[in-house]
Structure 1
Amino acid sequence: MKLIASLTSPYARKVRIVLQEKRIECPLAVDIPWNADSKVVDVNPLGKVPVLVLDDGSTLFDSRVIVEYLDHVSPVAKLIPNDYRHAIQVKRWEALADGICDAAAIIFLERKRMPEQQSQDWIKRQEAKITRGLQSLAEDLGENSWCNGESYSLADIAVGACLGYLDFRFAEITWRSSYPNLARLADKLAQRPAFADTVPQA
């Protein structure tokens, strides 16, 4: 098995954290899809990371598919509940966190365009998604210890990777002061080795 990923991707970070929490040994091959010499399209027709290459040469993508697969191949540290209703709630957290990352990534890429080509209306639309998404995360978390209640799960991993990406790329978003409960969760997650070992790197 091999993981093809970028060190800055929040989706790849989510997978890398899951691998560590599940104690699954998996080599990491760094590939930046935007680089001219990228080989990502050879393993994912969509040209996106992360991609998990299995032992038989087949591939899995995107991150949500990969983490669900990983949670089933190892019994260690179950991250998605067996109960269907609870599992759906965890996947909902993941979808919301990934959606915030989607909007943030769109802004990041739009800002890389020439200034005269950038659409401020498009950027504002994505910023509004981030604002609403963070508000929803904070409201859903409330005073709970973990996203899905009283136990650590994939929901916390997804949210933690999302918040870490905002810290990395969007320091101007003051989510920590606006949502202290999310800040407490992020600080608690940062103490876990799997999070400390996967902090985004430029």
Structure 2
Amino acid sequence: MKLIGSTTSPYVRRIRILLDEEPHEFVNLDIYGEGRDELRRNNPALKIPMLEDDGQDIYDSRIIARYVSAKQGRDPLTWNQQNQLTLIDAANDSAVTLLLSERSGLDTSADVMFFNLQRERIMTTLRTLAAMVDDGQFEEWNYPAICLYCLVDWLDFRSLVNFEGVESLLSFRDHHREQPWVAATDPRTA
């Protein structure tokens, strides 16, 4: 099994944590530099992570998680857990869009509909996820909790949001810092 990605991607990190002790090779790419050609050769969607296993290529973190979980004999996610992932991915996608826009020299703080919609999606979603945390919906360390952890930690790492009003997300993150593979996949040590 080979996982292709980067050490700073929250989508890759969630799969690395899920893989845990599963034997695999991790290929760390600089997807905006020298690794771009390898990414082109391996994933026509030009995104990370990507998994190669026994001739099977899988191009998306959500599908990789289903594949790995099935191999590990884990129960499939419930509809509520699928909805949790949709919320997490929505915030993550919008945050990545803002980060890439900033790195492209765009002023993401401008009062522009596109950026306003991304910020609104992020904060609305984070408020909903914080309420779910407060309600105890992420107490079990499972794939949705791993994804939430990776989102919150990455948002903090990249300083992309103000956590005022959703502090329980930071508390959730801090509570799970000792989980297996969390420290080993910290993007700050990449």
TM-score normalised per structure 2: 0.89
SS state of the match for residue 190, structure 1? coil
Q: Does 1:129 align with 2:121?
A: yes
SS state of the match for residue 125, structure 2? helix
Q: How far apart are the structure 1 equivalents of 2:174 and 2:64?
A: 26
- Correspondence for 2:47: 48
1:130-182 deviations in Å (ceiling 9; x for gaps): 110101101222241x52xx5321110110010011011125x231x422322
Q: How far apart are the structure 2 equivalents of 1:67 and 1:180?
A: 28
When residues 185 and 46 of structure 1 are mapped into structure 2, their CA distance, relative to the original with a 3 A threshold, is: same
Shift of 1:17: 0.7
Q: Is the 8 A contact 1:18 1:67 kept in 2?
A: yes
Q: Superposition RMSD on alpha carbons, in Å? A: 2.2
Q: Is the 8 A contact 1:2 1:28 kept in 2?
A: yes
Q: Does 1:35 align with 2:46?
A: no
Q: Is the 8 A contact 2:14 2:147 kept in 1?
A: yes
Q: Is the 8 A contact 1:90 1:155 kept in 2?
A: yes
- Correspondence for 2:65: 67
Q: Is the 8 A contact 2:98 2:108 kept in 1?
A: no
When residues 131 and 55 of structure 1 are mapped into structure 2, their CA distance, relative to the original with a 3 A threshold, is: same
When residues 165 and 36 of structure 1 are mapped into structure 2, their CA distance, relative to the original with a 3 A threshold, is: same
TM-score normalised per structure 1: 0.84
Question: Which amino acid counterpart does residue 90 of structure 1 have in structure 2?
Answer: Q
Question: Which amino acid counterpart does residue 25 of structure 1 have in structure 2?
Answer: P
Question: Which amino acid counterpart does residue 86 of structure 2 have in structure 1?
Answer: A
Q: How far apart are the structure 1 equivalents of 2:167 and 2:35?
A: 42
4+ residue runs of structure 1 moved beyond 3 angstroms? 114-120
SS state of the match for residue 111, structure 1? helix
- Percent identity for Structure 1 against Structure 2: 25
Shift of 1:36: 4.7
Q: Is the 8 A contact 2:102 2:108 kept in 1?
A: no
User: Which consecutive residues of structure 1, in runs of 5 or more, have no partner in the other structure?
Assistant: none
- Correspondence for 1:87: 78
Shift of 1:100: 0.7
Shift of 1:120: 4.9
Question: Which amino acid counterpart does residue 84 of structure 2 have in structure 1?
Answer: W
Q: How far apart are the structure 1 equivalents of 2:106 and 2:16?
A: 34
How many equivalent residue pairs? 187
1:89-124 deviations in Å (ceiling 9; x for gaps): 112111211111100000011111234899651222
When residues 45 and 178 of structure 1 are mapped into structure 2, their CA distance, relative to the original with a 3 A threshold, is: same
Q: How far apart are the structure 1 equivalents of 2:107 and 2:173?
A: 37
